[in-house]
Amino acid sequence: MIHFQNVTKNYENQTALRDISFSVDKGEMIFLTGPSGSGKSTLLKLIYLAEKADNGEITIADWELSRLKESSIPSVRRNIGIIFQDFRLLDNRTVFENIALALRIRGIGEKETKIRVYDALKTVNLRHKSDAYPKALSGGEQQRVVIARAIVSDPTILLADEPTGNLDPDTAQGVAKIFKDVHARGTTIIIATHNREMYRNTGKRVLQLDSGNLIGEGLG
């Protein structure tokens, strides 16, 4: 599903990722771990095309990203649900509208949008907050809205960048369960986290990054 072959990414004079190679199978769930600045976010950005690799080859499904036309970028992104580290919620729109945006971009009708958004809100336990604005929510609630926006469109791939960063242990556990449920539906998931509790005893693959290098791989 996702294939990295000798991928390198530099930022000016700094190497963010060096010669990274790995594969993720369809329907697999893996974790990326490592300290801050190890390259986890950059790796995810390469997948959702917010950044371009300087060297190497990245393949997502049938798309070879280095040969991808600019006009095809939206199509690739519409197959991916993203949980951004900085949330990227629109402050002037309600929770409902923020989540519905993912569906409106995909051209889904109003009736279906309503059903799916309320389903997603139910999944993240925020049904009662649908009319609230993001700034009126706690950090944990905002995090869950972002998760709902990422899963509402039933993406083939789900990318999560520190999805439990702002959550207390109990809510984090709840989020872990959401990922488990989404994974059970056959979604390929990559979660970047430095929260060991997220991957401990999951039996899933864990890729360890440090200073832009892939230094190890094991099972959680």
Partner 1 sequence: MIAPYALKLAVQSLLREKWINLLSVMTIAAGLLIISISFFALYNIDVATKKLPEKFSLTAYLDKNLQRDQLDSVVDAFRKKKTVLSVRYISKDEAMKELKSSLKNSDYILEGLEENPLPDSLEIKLKSNEVGAETVQQFAREAMKIKGVAEVNYGEKFLSTLETIKKGVKAVGMFFAVILSTGIVFVCYSTVKILFYRRSEEIETFKLLGATKGFIRTPFLIEGAVIGACGGLLSLLGCFFLYYTFLLRLSMTMPVFKAILFPSNLFLPLPVLGMLLGLAGAVIALGRLRY
- Residue from 2, 30, 46, 80 in contact with partner 1 (CB under 8 A): 80
> Among residue numbers 86 through 115, which ones bind partner 1 (CB under 8 A)?
88, 90, 92, 101-102, 104-110
186 three-class SS: coil
64 touches partner 1 by CB under 8 A: no
Within the chain, residue ranges assigned H as helices are 40-47, 73-77, 95-105, 110-123, 139-151, 169-184, 196-199
DSSP SS3 for 83: strand
Count of residues touching partner 1 (by CB under 8 A)? 26
Span near partner 1 by CB under 8 A; candidates 73-81, 117-125, 129-137, 188-196: 73-81
Q: According to the binding rule CB under 8 A, does residue 135 interact with partner 1?
A: no
> In degrees, to the nearest 5, what angle opens at C-alpha 88 toward C-alphas 79 and 63?
25
Identify the CA nearest to 88 among candidates 58, 48, 53, 117: 48
Q: How far apart are CA 190 and CA 213, in angstroms?
A: 17
Rounded to whole angstroms, the Cα distance separating 103 from 78 reads 10
Q: Applying CB under 8 A, which of residues 23, 75, 138, 173 lies at the interface with partner 1?
A: 75
Q: Which stretch binds partner 1 (CB under 8 A): 8-16, 82-90, 131-139, 179-187?
A: 82-90
- Say which amino acid occupies 55: N
137 binds partner 1 (CB under 8 A): no
Binding of partner 1 by 78 (CB under 8 A) = yes
Residues engaged in binding partner 1 (CB under 8 A): 48-50, 70, 73-78, 80, 82, 84, 88, 90, 92, 101-102, 104-110, 149
